[in-house]
Structure 1
């Protein structure tokens, strides 16, 4: 339970992630996750394979590894889909908010166009470059929010699993 509880805690520590996070902010949650993995794997293997007769242990171990790897692959695919959907959601919501504050958007484009003006390009190119910059900044923030959402979801699902651990059959 300590390992699973540590996983819950480490995933929750990732939820306030911003685009400004560096290795210093990532170090502690990653360390907690790594330490928790050491405490989580042995009980999982024991619960799964502990009651298997020795003559069937090799086959059961192979099936266990197969399902563990398959579960990991499915989990990664689901997380990728969630990240993609949440990124689209947040980007869309930011776009809706931009419509309600056109003066702020226009001010950003005007100020960043002045920056691009130094390169000697025409006004249309400057406005297009400024608009592209705004879109890239919005995408970066949408992706960051999507990661935060995904970490929160994983944390919640792991918490539910943590609550269900006492109900597992531990008899051999």
Structure 2
């Protein structure tokens, strides 16, 4: 058994010393691939850490084959780079939407309008609207009528023809989902 096979076998078995060897041996390759794909050293370093963390957690799925551990790590790197590029795109879209919304609310010269909301509030609004769009349509409708239509639950029941208990259930479930998803989602950092 050569050195690479010994390291791969130890890694798959959960030997932490072999994990250190894997990191030292393949970190330059992983970082280089990430850096070339992302064009940003800091993002490449984050992806490199994610790759080795994912490899360690998923080591039970490693099967020696052509290319060995290096090929397996390269595959994980490709997936993590794709995730990073997708996250970058989401951040850019959110920032663009926030900028558009901010411009929409910016005061016009000579117009008597309330002061424009701060960019952070506009971005919060964009995130809330995005999460709201993920709700089932009945819950979305109840939330929109309550918050944008300024209707009480009784008024919503009368307008939609839904029983009051159903309106209350939709409202409660929707607010729980929104709270959980917004708490779990960090505010995107502008780059």
- TM-score band by shorter chain is 0.3 to 0.5
**TM-score (normalizing by structure 1):** 0.34
Higher helix share: 1
Q: Select the structure with the greater relative contact order (CA < 8 A; seq sep ≥ 6).
A: 1
